[in-house]
Structure 1
Amino acid sequence: MIRKVESTLSTTPVLEGAGVKLQRVFGYPRQGWLDPFLMLDHFGSDNPADYIAGFPWHPHRGIETVTYMLAGEVDHEDSMGNKGKIKSGDIQWMTAGSGILHQEMPRSFEGTMSGFQLWVNLPAAHKMMKPRYQDIASHLIPEFVWKGLKIRLAAGKFGEYTGPVKDIMVKPVFMDITIPAGVQQTIEIDPAHTVFVYVFEGSGYFDQMMKNPIGSGTLAKLVSGDQVFMGTDQSATRFLLVAGKPLNEPIAWRGPIVMNTKEELYQAFEEYQTGNFIKK
């Protein structure tokens, strides 16, 4: 059965970090709406003043942060001693687990610096797991054409292809899909998963009758079924398709820390303030 578009949501401009201009797709006010996904931000500007201040040192616990770069470069550094760069086409899947301090600092870029950050909740049993990174260079992400669709598969499986992001609790699918004009296809998806698409170029259809176009800067939540329809008419489109296993657990969320109870949340901030946040 083909999933239906239950609802759509347009982005809202926000300031985050030290003054970075972002488009918030969804976040705190809609916690649980796309369980296990907590937040999606779309950043993009050809003016370095909009992003160069970056995201100085800050904590995370209980979640995973996913940074997918379309174009540009971000320096990252953390409390475990890791340093590196996320470059155009790369994806970084960071599991904060029991706690990590890190910073993400964009570099000035010729042209439009753009990408996404997605927050993924961790199940209660793994909230305090050991922090880890999966830094995946662009050339390691499978890119292929299937029945007219151009697909980059960062996580999950599609036909003979497997995304390079491994061993994630919510069994995610993370695809960057481009559809040229005049193409319609249907792909299979786990019927038990939460599924959404976020269009960031052009306009596409995710209802089989192709009556309701989803334009750039719009998210569509897709429900009830084991297939996703996607298509275009007169113009091409590009979008993220993200899916994952819902946790169905309580959410206690404040800023960069997401736990299951208020007591766990208070404990996390107390440990941060007293210098006991990082676990050995």
Structure 2
Amino acid sequence: MKSMRKILSVQPGQAASDGAGVKLNRVIGGAGLERFDPFLMLDEFATENPDDYIAGFPPHPHRGFETITYMIEGRMRHEDHMGNVGLLESGSVQWMTAARGVIHSEMPEQQDGAMRGFQLWLNLPGKSKLNDPDYRDIAASEIPRLSTEQGVEVVVIAGQFSDGQLTQDGAVQRPDTEPQLFDLHLAPGSQVQPRLPEGHRVMLYVYEGSLQLPEASPDSVHGGRLIRLSDQGELHLASATGAKVLLIAGKPIGEPIVQYGPFVMNSREEIEQALRDFRDGVLA
């Protein structure tokens, strides 16, 4: 029998503001990004107060990574320099590969009501940071969902979900980092054992309810906490009272990470070049 993945840390998010004043819960971001490689940032937005989101994210640049926006509730409109226009609605995903450069905006398509979802930043290896950018809207109907015999609903956004009984490819497959991104809805008393590649960095963000990891300490983690796990072993998740959890896993790149705001490269010189390109109007 294989050993279980060990809990390396449990941490809460931090209140933050981005864009034109959108209030966020920053789960990952800032110093020590090597611990989360290949992931750079995870923001949660969850509010019913339009003052928290109405100003949105006016035009801004990115270079060197991918952004994955998963909308649980609400409507946001995307526009970019490539001419893409997309509407993020409840249950949909936007997957944008900034690569050498994207200038885009994300603005609310509503004046009131709840706005809830996540944005995850996924690093690109150095060989791909200056490739052509790409953009994809994925409707909720295009994202596979399944229900396990143990009472867990799984939204398979990226990678491949398998629990030894069911196997399902996600809506997105990516090279190099091989991201696995699942939204797990555990009914009270349910459990699930996702099979993940050895060596992948694994994190769990509990965004509702309470999650138990048998043979781990602490044995129960409540909503609003990120669990960072070891990169070897099996994973066994359970919930006595019900939980909703983002499972995020990926293959570490193992390269230097140098970030300056919306630019993520491998060296300070590359960051300075990105700043010059943006100033000169040739970033994108």
3-state DSSP of counterpart to 1:191:
coil
Is residue 103 of structure 1 aligned with residue 105 of structure 2? yes
Identity over aligned pairs, percent = 42
Cα distance in 2, alignment partners of residues 253 and 209 from structure 1: 34
Counterpart contact for 1:35–1:248, Cα < 8 Å:
yes
Displacement after TM superposition at 1:109 (Å): 5.8
Residue in 2 that maps onto 1:271 = 277
Cα distance in 1, alignment partners of residues 36 and 13 from structure 2: 15
Aligned residue-pair number: 277
3-state DSSP of counterpart to 2:177:
coil
Is residue 222 of structure 1 aligned with residue 229 of structure 2? yes
- Pairwise CA RMSD of aligned residues? 1.4
- CA offsets 1:171-227 (integer angstroms, 9 cap, x no match): 110000011111233221111100000000111012435752111110000114242
**For 1:257, which of 236, 257, 263 is the aligned residue?**
263
Residue in 2 that maps onto 1:169 = 176
Displacement after TM superposition at 1:30 (Å): 2.7
Is residue 156 of structure 1 aligned with residue 162 of structure 2? no
Counterpart contact for 1:42–1:115, Cα < 8 Å:
yes
Displacement after TM superposition at 1:100 (Å): 0.8
Residue in 1 that maps onto 2:139 = 137
Cα distance in 2, alignment partners of residues 216 and 73 from structure 1: 24
Displacement after TM superposition at 1:125 (Å): 0.5
Is residue 118 of structure 1 aligned with residue 131 of structure 2? no
Matches within 5 A, 1:83-102: 83-102=85-104
Is residue 203 of structure 1 aligned with residue 216 of structure 2? no
Q: Residues 253 and 209 from structure 1, CA distance in 2 versus in 1: closer, same or farther, beyond 3 angstroms?
A: closer
Cα distance in 2, alignment partners of residues 13 and 180 from structure 1: 29
Aligned residue identity for 2:151: G
Aligned residue identity for 1:127: K
User: Which segment drifts farther, 140-149 or 37-46?
Assistant: 140-149
Residue in 2 that maps onto 1:241 = 247
Counterpart contact for 1:182–1:231, Cα < 8 Å:
yes
Structure 1 runs, 4 residues or longer, greater than 4 Å off: none
- CA offsets 1:4-31 (integer angstroms, 9 cap, x no match): 1110110111111000000000102231
Cα distance in 1, alignment partners of residues 121 and 24 from structure 2: 15
Counterpart contact for 2:7–2:216, Cα < 8 Å:
no
Cα distance in 2, alignment partners of residues 188 and 274 from structure 1: 47
Aligned residue identity for 1:215: H
Cα distance in 2, alignment partners of residues 188 and 9 from structure 1: 24
What is the TM-score of this pair, normalised by structure 2? 0.94
Cα distance in 1, alignment partners of residues 40 and 245 from structure 2: 19
3-state DSSP of counterpart to 1:181:
coil
Residue in 1 that maps onto 2:8 = 6
Aligned residue identity for 1:180: A
**For 1:194, which of 194, 201, 204 is the aligned residue?**
201
Consecutive unaligned residues of structure 2, counting only runs of 5 or more, are none
3-state DSSP of counterpart to 1:139:
helix
Is residue 232 of structure 1 aligned with residue 234 of structure 2? no
Cα distance in 2, alignment partners of residues 157 and 90 from structure 1: 18
Is residue 212 of structure 1 aligned with residue 219 of structure 2? yes
